[in-house]
């Protein structure tokens, strides 16, 4: 694998000549698409095929498709699914919420696979608190840390049934953030011991996941000077150490306003801290050119983790029609 340690977006619904040339030169490990890139099924399939042709390896094609309010495919139609927290709220009348979750995310995954995607940036393992900014809210499965893991595992299983890889996020926990990290830097002052007993619990339980996305959050009792994404202490001691996550660690989007400095500085700091892969979502061509100057080729442990997380070997166990029927049955149980 000669891929570079970055996931890039693109500007629009078709691939531009300059983008083709840049991607062919940089060889990003993966690509991510957003609503701006998605117009019709045929167009999405063509765009994904064109992205694949720019690189010499088998890239992951990512999207944020959680269900509920985080749905990039909404304009295309098809199964969207409810917010993650809907399932725990329906537990009294739907005892088998694990089956309902698995069916729901299998339907989401089948829709993604049909279009050519290989990975979904879900599930959210964050545990929201009463005082937190609503950016997480009902995207989380529940507010009880010990209950999150089996629900999130059902999501991963459902995606896997459809041949889609999941990405757990936002490690080591975004649930206490009192501001939206897209807009500014959240600073969590909660003591390390309490974080260990709450926020870190779901990530520890799913530490065997193949991919995880970092939180642009400062945990001041652990590292008061850096967000987790750029904190060597958080990544080495907490994510890799205490939590025990051994999979591929990707940054959250480098253009989010939580991170200080230039894009190049953010990239260099994230890699130096221990992120394996960088995520850049906007498709801004000038920004991608800047990042191309500092992004290295995957090597050493990052390369090994990337190989284990690669899309090769992913195969659907269920067709899209079957998946949607199963999800509709699950949705009916939710009332």
Give the DSSP letter string of 270-322: HHHHT-SEEEE-S--HHHHHHHHTTPPBP-HHHHHHHHHHSSTT---SS-HHH
* pLDDT tens, residue order, the chain (335 aa): 589 999 999 999 999 999 999 999 999 999 999 999 999 999 999 999 999 999 999 999 999 999 999 999 998 988 888 999 999 988 766 668 898 899 999 999 999 999 999 999 999 999 999 999 999 999 999 999 999 999 999 999 999 999 999 999 999 999 999 999 999 999 999 999 999 999 999 999 999 999 999 999 999 999 999 999 999 999 999 999 999 999 999 999 999 999 999 999 999 999 999 999 999 999 999 999 999 999 999 999 999 999 999 986 566 666 667 666 666 766 665 65
Selected catalytic residue, list 18, 25, 178, 182: 182
**How far apart are alpha carbons 206 and 203 in whole angstroms?**
5
| Preceding peptide of 170 cis, ω within 30° | yes
Distance CA 194, CA 148 (A): 17
The tokens describing 80, both together, are 């969207």
Instruction: State yes or no: is 321 an active-site residue.
Output: no
Query: Across-strand partners of 278?
Result: 6
pLDDT of residue 2: 85
The CATH class that applies to domain 4-334 reads alpha beta
CB 191 within 8 A of CB 221: yes
Residue 335: the pLDDT is 59
Q: Is 34 exposed, middle or buried (0-12, 13-18, 19+ CB in 10 A)?
A: middle
Q: Which of 161, 252, 253, 276 is catalytic?
A: 252
To the query of whether residue 252 is one of the catalytic residues in this protein, the response is yes
User: What confidence score (pLDDT) does residue 237 get?
Assistant: 98
Query: How far lies 286's CA from each of 36, 114, 255, in Å?
Result: 18, 32, 13
Interacting residues of 236 by C-beta distance below 8 A, sequence separation 6+: 274
């Amino acid at each position: 694998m000669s891929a570079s340690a970055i996931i890039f977006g693109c500007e629009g619904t078709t691939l531009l000549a300059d983008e083709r040339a840049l991607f062919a030169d940089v060889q990003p490990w993966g690509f991510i698409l957003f609503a701006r890139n998605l117009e019709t099924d045929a167009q999405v399939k063509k765009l994904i095929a064109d992205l694949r042709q720019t690189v010499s390896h088998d890239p992951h094609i990512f999207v944020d498709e959680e269900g509920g309010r985080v749905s990039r495919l909404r304009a295309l139609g098809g199964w969207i699914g409810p917010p993650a927290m809907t399932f725990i709220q329906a537990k009294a009348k739907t005892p088998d919420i694990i089956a309902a979750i698995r069916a729901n995310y299998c339907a989401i995954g089948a829709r993604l696979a049909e279009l050519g995607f290989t990975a979904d940036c879900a599930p959210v393992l964050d545990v929201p608190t009463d005082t937190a900014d609503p950016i997480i809210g009902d995207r989380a499965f529940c507010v009880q840390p010990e209950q999150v893991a089996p629900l999130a595992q059902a999501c991963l299983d459902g995606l896997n049934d459809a041949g889609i890889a999941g990405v757990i996020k936002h490690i080591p926990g975004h649930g206490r953030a009192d501001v939206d990290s897209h807009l500014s830097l959240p600073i969590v002052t909660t003591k390390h011991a309490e974080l260990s007993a709450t926020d870190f619990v779901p990530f520890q339980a799913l530490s065997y996941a193949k991919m995880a996305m970092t939180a642009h959050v400062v945990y001041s009792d652990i590292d008061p000077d850096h967000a987790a994404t750029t904190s060597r202490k958080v990544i080495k001691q907490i994510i890799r150490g205490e939590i025990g996550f051994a999979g591929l660690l990707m940054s959250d989007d480098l253009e989010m306003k939580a991170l200080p400095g230039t894009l190049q500085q953010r990239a260099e700091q994230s890699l130096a801290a221990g992120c394996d892969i960088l995520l850049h979502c906007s498709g801004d061509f000038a920004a991608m050119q800047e990042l191309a100057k500092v992004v290295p080729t995957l090597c050493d442990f990052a390369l090994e983790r990337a190989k284990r997380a690669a899309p090769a070997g992913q195969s659907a166990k269920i067709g899209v029609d079957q998946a949607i029927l199963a999800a509709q049955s699950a949705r009916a149980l939710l009332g």
